[in-house]
Amino acid sequence: MDRQQLSALIDHTLLKPEATAAQVERLCAEAVEHAFASVCVSPTQVALVARHLDGHPSLACSVIGFPSGAHLPAIKAAEAARAVADGAQELDMVIDLGALADRGGAAVEHEVAAVRAEVADAAAIKVIIESAALTDDQIVAACEAAVAAGADFVKTSTGFHPSGGASTHAVALMRRTVGDDVGVKASGGIRSYEDALAMLAAGASRLGMSAGVAVVTGG
């Protein structure tokens, strides 16, 4: 896959808490120029993204329960509903890692189902499991639960957890767990063309990146 072909698989991302409207507008312009899959931002900036991408193929994406995931399912569901009302077409929601550790996959299934019930088919749901913070058994349990609750993708990382971001091992395990009918998004620490290709070879079908322009242009 050449660099330009990668564009359609990249979620062009800006999630720094200090991100400004001007920076988000530039992100949208870059997404249109390079035909990225989506622009992924914080909930407060989704409406701005939706306006700028109106009429373009790139989708508006919002994070939910970001970055800790330690939010009640009802709060995540309400946040998801507001993001969809503001124009989000995709939602990247963070699971509650403590609940997973305490109660296993049932906790993940409960909160993902709450978000799915709230937004119905209005948006694709990508479930962030923070794979670097989990054992292999926990990765499998989280992925199985997310799929059972209606997730469209499972996603490795927020990029904010101290345990680290995506790994090819986690991506491959997630792909084996969910099969071919559910997406796998690798995110966190993907900064080069070589990183991107490694994640795709491991089984990723979407890439979350803040370095997308440099990767697809060779800059």
**Using a CB cutoff of 8 Å and minimum separation of 24, what contacts does 142-147 make?**
142/95, 142/100, 142/105, 142/108, 143/174, 143/177, 143/178, 144/105, 144/177, 144/178, 145/105, 145/106, 145/107, 145/108, 145/109, 145/112, 146/95, 146/108, 146/109, 146/112, 147/178, 147/182
Catalytic residue among 76, 86, 96, 185: 185
Is 155 among the residues known to form the active site? yes
How many residues are given for the chain? 219
Annotated active-site residue 92? The verdict is yes
**Active-site residue, from 92, 96, 152, 195:** 92
Largest separation between any pair of C-alpha atoms in the chain: 45
Domains assigned to the chain: 3-217 (3.20.20.70)
> What pLDDT score was predicted for residue 219?
77
* Count of alpha carbons within 13 angstroms of residue 157, beta-carbon side: 24
pLDDT in the model for residue 4:
86
Q: Does the annotation mark 96 as catalytic? A: no
HSE (CB half, 13 Å, CA atoms) of 9? 24
Active-site residue, selected from the candidate residues 76, 86, 96, 155: 155
- Residue 191 has a pLDDT of 95
Q: Distance of CA 187 to CAs 74, 86, 138, 148, Å? A: 26, 24, 18, 22
Residue 91 DSSP class: E
Give the pLDDT confidence score for residue 113 in this predicted structure: 98
State the pLDDT at residue 1.
86
pLDDT in tens, the chain (219 residues): 899 899 999 999 999 999 999 999 999 999 999 999 999 999 999 999 999 999 999 999 999 999 999 999 999 999 999 999 999 999 999 999 999 999 999 999 999 999 999 999 999 999 999 999 999 999 999 999 999 999 999 999 999 999 999 999 999 999 999 999 999 999 999 999 999 999 999 999 999 999 999 999 997
In angstroms, how far is the first alpha carbon of the chain from the final one?
A: 17
Here the tokens at position 133 are 């913070």
